[in-house]
């Protein structure tokens, strides 16, 4: 696949909470129309990094540029380019899926007609059109995750942040999320995907940054990372992490 220029560039991102350094001088780029994975164990600093990239948190040090805009100075312009699907479910359980989507679409600045049109589109994309009018409280955990992703897609972003989108869900929803992410990339969207599941990163991501203890310790395509340790066709990303850190990714 031929990539265009970098859509996101992070340089020297650093963040501490109560004197504990959570992210330590993280630098990487995400190319236009690729799926870039941040792979690492829970507590590695992935979510804090996402929050700095997506204008939610100010870094203690470092810069982020998205779509040619410096996040620190042009955060409003950046927000128009991005969609964020957090780990936490942000849904109103008594409302239907379509009412949730229309509400969040209006909050994002869409008109009523735009919100309804976008809601119908994204519900079809995440495979929930037939359950659109059911209250979200009746949904399985995986279906709620898919609605969470749909909310992030309401404004048709150019860059989508997905933070651990498949934690604790059923295989059917996980596979549907995989298919959705790959289709979005193929249609031209740029995706930053965090996970601690090696098989997900290997299956989905064009390039991966392996993150541990607040730092990026390796960066490359899945094949490049595996070739650093052994045969790229037989080595796993778990073995790459074990080689780099001396411990299992699932610790």
Question: Could you tell me the pLDDT band of residue 2, with boundaries at 50, 70 and 90?
Answer: very low
| Interval 60-87: pLDDT, tens | 999 999 999 999 999 999 999 999 999 8
pLDDT band at 4 (very low <50, low <70, confident <90, very high): low
Give the angle subtended at the CA of 55 by the CAs of 104 and 121, to the nearest 5°.
30
Give the pLDDT band (50/70/90) at residue 90: confident
Span 172-180, average pLDDT: 90
Residue found by looking up tokens 């265009």 in the block: 4
- pLDDT at residue 198, as a whole number: 87
Residue 249 per-residue DSSP state: T
Predicted confidence (pLDDT) at residue 30 exceeds the cutoff of 60: yes
Going through 177-222 in order, the beta strands assigned E by DSSP cover: 190-195, 207-212, 215-220
CB-based contact 115:146 (threshold 8 Å): no
Q: At 151, list the tokens.
A: 């909310």
Share of the chain above pLDDT 90, in %: 75
Q: Is the pLDDT of residue 251 over 50?
A: no
Q: Give the residue from 68, 61, 67 showing the smallest Cα distance to 12.
A: 61
Residue 197, token pair as written in the block: 């599941």
**What does the pLDDT look like over 124-167, one tens digit per residue?**
999 999 999 999 999 999 999 999 999 999 989 999 999 999 98
Q: What gap in Å lies between CA 237 and CA 243, rounded to an integer? A: 10
Do 24 and 40 contact (CB within 8 A), yes or no? no
CA 247 to chain centroid? 25
Measured between its terminal Cα atoms, the distance across the chain in Å is 34
User: Distance between CA atoms of 22 and 206, rounded to whole angstroms?
Assistant: 26
Give Cβ neighbours of residue 226 (< 8 Å, ≥ 6 apart): 232, 235, 236, 237, 239, 240
């Amino acid at each position: 696949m031929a990539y265009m220029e970098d859509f996101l560039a992070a340089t020297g991102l650093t963040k501490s909470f109560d004197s504990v350094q959570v992210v330590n001088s993280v630098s990487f780029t995400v190319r236009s129309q690729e799926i870039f994975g941040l792979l690492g164990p829970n507590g590695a600093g992935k979510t804090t990094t996402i929050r700095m990239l997506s204008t939610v948190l100010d870094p203690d040090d470092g810069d982020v540029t998205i779509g040619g805009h410096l996040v620190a100075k042009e955060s409003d312009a950046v927000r128009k380019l991005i969609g964020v699907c957090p780990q936490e479910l942000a849904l109103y359980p008594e409302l239907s899926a379509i009412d949730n989507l229309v509400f969040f679409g209006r909050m994002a600045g869409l008109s009523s007609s735009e919100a309804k049109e976008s809601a119908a589109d994204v519900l079809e994309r995440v495979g929930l059109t037939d359950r659109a009018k059911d209250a979200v409280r009746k949904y399985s955990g995986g279906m709620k995750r898919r609605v969470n992703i749909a909310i992030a897609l309401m404004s048709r972003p150019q860059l989508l942040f997905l933070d651990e989108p498949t934690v604790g869900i059923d295989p059917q929803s996980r596979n549907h999320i995989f298919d959705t992410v790959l289709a979005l990339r193929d249609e031209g969207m740029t995706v930053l995907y965090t996970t601690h599941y090696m098989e997900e990163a290997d299956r989905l991501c064009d390039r991966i940054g392996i993150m541990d203890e607040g730092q990026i310790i390796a960066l490359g395509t899945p094949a490049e990372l595996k070739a650093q340790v052994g045969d790229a066709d037989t080595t796993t990303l778990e073995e790459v992490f074990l080689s780099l850190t001396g411990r299992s990714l699932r610790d």
